[in-house]
Amino acid sequence: MSEQHVELIQQDGIVRIRLNRPEKKNAFTQAMYDTCEQALSDADKDESVAVVIFESSGDSFSSGNDLNDFLAVENLDETAPPFRFLHTLNRVNVPIVAKVNGLAIGIGTTLLLHCDLVYASEEALFALPFVKLGLLPEAASSLLLPRLCGHQLASELLLLGDNFTAEKAQQLGLVNAVLPAEQLTKHVDGVLEKLSSQSRQALRTSKKLIKAPQQTVAERISHEAGYFAKALSSDAARQAIAAKLKKK
């Protein structure tokens, strides 16, 4: 059943993780988390993969967790599928893109905090209604949101839990671009094409550096230098530089 609710498509260095439960507005079940976690892990291990994209079928990205499914879980600890998924999502070095349409509620929003590029339709609607449900923030959103938009705005989103628009999501830094619904797929496909044409190792190492813990400027220069020297000696870099020089 989870395979039907999550479609996996791999082609030309792109892995598509497509939420496919439109009749429930792509609400996550434990089985869906399992499938997504395994797909992410497999993509990260596959050096031919340039990028993973989270997308969806129907009129919503995800309406959050299937509450009936969650209430049926006896031991919801860190070994449970949602938390394994979140740890893998945070750990992988393969770049992750999200294409958001319609509702992006709960995990539909917090998942985006771990994506590297996020594009949304003008009709997308976001919310973090955890406190309204007597629950608590998830997916490190209590850490990542204040980093992204500051204490007060993060408190507004997490403590009040009200809906907010794609335009506001872009203002907060959660979304890279907001597009008319009919232009969203074409725009995202263009981004995926650009990423898939890049060096896999350079993409992954760059993401690793971007996500690395806070350092002084001097520490980061030294950290980058080691990676840079190794990359410069790679066949991929030499070929790319040679092609660039040939054009001049």
DSSP of 20-79, one letter per residue? --GGGTT-B-HHHHHHHHHHHHHHHH-TT--EEEEEESTT-SB--B-HHHHHT-S--STT
* Mean pLDDT value of segment 120-126: 98
Residue 155 is predicted with a pLDDT of 98
What token pair was written down for 188? Answer: 């995202």
Top CATH class, 2-196: alpha beta
The whole-angstrom separation of Cα 6 and Cα 16 is 10
Q: Which of the two residues, 166 and 230, has the higher pLDDT score?
A: 166
Closest CA to 14 of 216, 183, 191: 191
Closest CA to 194 of 48, 9, 51: 51
* Mean pLDDT value of segment 146-170: 97
Residue ranges matching CATH 3.90.226.10 in the chain: 2-196
Residue 1 is predicted with a pLDDT of 46
Mean pLDDT of the chain: 93
Residue 240 is predicted with a pLDDT of 76
pLDDT higher than threshold 80 for residue 127: yes
Residue 22 is predicted with a pLDDT of 97
pLDDT tier, 228 (very low <50, low <70, confident <90, very high otherwise): confident
pLDDT tens for residues 19-66?
Answer: 999 999 999 999 999 999 999 999 999 999 999 999 999 999 999 999
pLDDT higher than threshold 80 for residue 245: no
pLDDT higher than threshold 50 for residue 135: yes
Sheet holding 125-127, edge to edge: 103-105, 125-127, 164-165
What token pair was written down for 202? Answer: 């350079």
Quote the distance between the C-alpha of residue 121 and its chain's center: 16
pLDDT higher than threshold 80 for residue 84: yes
Residue 232 is predicted with a pLDDT of 74
Claim: this prediction has a pTM higher than 0.85:
yes
Q: What percent of the chain has pLDDT over 70?
A: 98
Residue 19 is predicted with a pLDDT of 98
Residue 248 is predicted with a pLDDT of 62
Quote the distance between the C-alpha of residue 145 and its chain's center: 14
Q: Could you tell me what percentage of the chain is helix, strand and coil, using 3-state DSSP and rounding each to the nearest 5?
A: 55, 15, 30
Sheet holding 14-19, edge to edge: 6-11, 14-19, 51-56, 96-100, 117-121, 177-179
Quote the distance between the C-alpha of residue 175 and its chain's center: 11
* Mean pLDDT value of segment 153-182: 97
